[in-house]
Structure 1
Amino acid sequence: MKRLLLAAAFGLLSISACAKAPASADDAKPAQGAATAPAEITKPAPGSPEERAVAAIAALNPEVKVDHVGKAPMPGFREAVVGGQVIYVSDDGNYLLFTGAGGGLLDTRTQKNLSEATLGGMRNKLLQTIPAGERIVFAPPNPKHTVTVFTDVECGYCRKMHEEIKQYNAEGIAVEYLAFPRIGIGSEGYNDMVSVWCAPDRKSALTKAKSTGEVESRNCRNTVADQYKVGQSVGLTGTPMIIARDGSQLGGYLPAKALRAALDKLEASDG
């Protein structure tokens, strides 16, 4: 979890493998005249804020390379460049401020995202606007954990996650699906999600749509558009998005055992 957290903080891991198409071979080629990789940074002076900044980052993940560290445009922080991302570390090394997907204020001592308490409460309030009966639920008897997952029938990692739904249930995890047609309202994917939510057996329709791509066209009064808007409001940019019971965002696809471990750790830290 430590490396996962830091990678997410620096924007090195997307919250969804479906959110962005893979780069083409041409994209991977360096442009003519492109700058060479930055040289190693000068070793900071012992006891300096720069040294504490580098040490704080290394404590979270020693494999991360700091390309630059120096004064920040705001007092009390150092500015560091890591993997092409700018982050800010407090001069005492106790706090790391980052932006982008999963961004916030990280306490480097406890490895907790201090912004998540506020964001988690906001997410829960938004999720409660969707009636329980509008969720497609795959749950074991007496689940240990329950997660909300924004999903799409076209997303590869959404399909992979659903292929393993029995494994999640075997780990004691109940999965409550909400719709997030990532191409947007009115798209073919949106219409497919509407058809699933209008099916007499939503669970079977969702499973068939994910496994075969076949969707029987249907229409009815539904909340798919509402679910999509809630997904946007909670900060979703791709699918799947996993949200724990306390509103914490756990990122995109995680194998069943990894998700169970993350939920267990989250519950222990809250306790």
Structure 2
Amino acid sequence: MKHLLFCIAVLLGPASLSACAQAPQPGQAAASASKPSPSPAAIKGNTPDERARQALMTLNPKIEIDYIGAAALPGFREAIVGGQVVLVSDDGKYLVQGSVLDIGAQKELTQSSPALSKYRQGLLKSIKTSERIVFAPPNAKYTVSVFTDIECGYCRKLHSEIAEYNRRGIAIEYLAFPRMGLGSPDHKSMISVWCASDRKQALTDAKNGKPVPDRQCKSTPVDMEYHVGQRLGISGTPAIFAEDGTQLGGYLPADKMREALDKLAGDTQTGKPAGMP
């Protein structure tokens, strides 16, 4: 919820929504709140999509909008900004951010959005397997993409249990997300890991607190993976995604991850919304 509130503050301010994960700078939220709301007359457009786009750009002219289309909530369009779904009323007057539950269908309408799943799948598929660090068992039943940082405690905990994930039929494919940002010591260390001749051993050493020998290489996917993570709206690590684009959350023990993946597969086969009874 705190992350969503930060997104609202950034949306109203001068920065791009790609910075949602960062807390607003001192005075930023207050300055944003003091801005007058746009008058309904300022929202123009011949279609609901155009009015939704205009409404969002009225709030922030620099906003990057990845998708606008019909929403499951009648009278609203859905837009993907900063890896998150927001709903804008067809007349452009109202914005809804956060979970919206269809009580009758017992379905969450934002995180379960097919457009969001498709968007996430496209971003994840843009990163080749050869650019990831893969720990996989033979004949894995499931594969998850894990955006990781070499310093965070839960990232290290997850990696210390890698054999158990593999034993339960789960392949872990790591992508780099130096959470302190590009140019940080973390970022430089992750470049050294991805440039190592044995990436798996280098990553394991780094997560065990061993020094990583400085390395540079002609091409490393670290920056690209970080930017993909930002476009997915990642606010912390580890960030775990199933193959269909569903975000499973942060750290999960091996048994809980297998349980979540089994349930997700079952819901997909039966047509149920993921996570609903």
Length-normalised TM-score, structure 1: 0.62
Q: Which residue of structure 1 lines up, in the alignment, with residue 263 of structure 2?
A: 265
Contact 1:148–1:244 under 8 Å retained in 2? yes
Specify the code of the residue in structure 1 equivalent to 2:238.
P
Q: Which residue of structure 1 lines up, in the alignment, with residue 184 of structure 2?
A: 187
Contact 1:149–1:175 under 8 Å retained in 2? yes
Instruction: Establish whether residue 145 from structure 1 lines up as the match of residue 137 from structure 2.
Output: no
* Secondary structure at the counterpart of residue 143 of structure 2: strand
CA distance change for structure 1 residues 145 and 194 in 2, over 3 Å: closer, same or farther? Answer: same
2: CA distance, partners of 1:144 / 1:8: 35
Alignment of 1:35-114 (within 5 A): 99=97, 103-108=98-103, 111-114=106-109
2: CA distance, partners of 1:9 / 1:263: 25
Q: Which residue of structure 2 lines up, in the alignment, with residue 222 of structure 1?
A: 220
1:149: Cα distance to partner? 0.3
Structure 1 unaligned blocks of 5 or more: 1-6, 12-18, 21-74, 77-96
Instruction: Establish whether residue 166 from structure 1 lines up as the match of residue 163 from structure 2.
Output: yes
Percent of pairs identical after alignment?
55
TM-superposition CA deviations, 1:24-61 (whole Å, max 9, x none): xxxxxxxxxxxxxxxxxxxxxxxxxxxxxxxxxxxxxx
1:107: Cα distance to partner? 3.6
1:9: Cα distance to partner? 11
2: CA distance, partners of 1:192 / 1:199: 11
2: CA distance, partners of 1:111 / 1:9: 24
1: CA distance, partners of 2:103 / 2:176: 35
Specify the code of the residue in structure 2 equivalent to 1:263.
L
Q: Which residue of structure 2 lines up, in the alignment, with residue 133 of structure 1?
A: 130
CA-based RMSD of the aligned residues comes to: 2.7
1: CA distance, partners of 2:156 / 2:259: 22
CA distance change for structure 1 residues 163 and 10 in 2, over 3 Å: closer, same or farther? Answer: same
Alignment of 1:231-242 (within 5 A): 231-242=229-240
CA distance change for structure 1 residues 10 and 232 in 2, over 3 Å: closer, same or farther? Answer: closer
1:202: Cα distance to partner? 0.3
1:98: Cα distance to partner? 7.7
TM-superposition CA deviations, 1:170-218 (whole Å, max 9, x none): 1110010000000000100000110000000000000000012421110
* Secondary structure at the counterpart of residue 150 of structure 1: strand
Contact 1:10–1:98 under 8 Å retained in 2? no
Q: Which residue of structure 1 lines up, in the alignment, with residue 34 of structure 2?
A: none
CA distance change for structure 1 residues 123 and 161 in 2, over 3 Å: closer, same or farther? Answer: same
1:10: Cα distance to partner? 9.9
Aligned pairs, how many? 182
2: CA distance, partners of 1:132 / 1:153: 19
Q: Which residue of structure 2 lines up, in the alignment, with residue 122 of structure 1?
A: 119
Specify the code of the residue in structure 1 equivalent to 2:237.
T
2: CA distance, partners of 1:250 / 1:145: 13
2: CA distance, partners of 1:178 / 1:139: 14
Specify the code of the residue in structure 2 equivalent to 1:199.
A
> More displaced, 128-137 or 251-260?
128-137
Specify the code of the residue in structure 1 equivalent to 2:141.
K
Structure 2 unaligned blocks of 5 or more: 6-20, 23-73, 76-94, 270-277
Length-normalised TM-score, structure 2: 0.60
CA distance change for structure 1 residues 248 and 110 in 2, over 3 Å: closer, same or farther? Answer: farther
1:128: Cα distance to partner? 1.6
CA distance change for structure 1 residues 191 and 171 in 2, over 3 Å: closer, same or farther? Answer: same
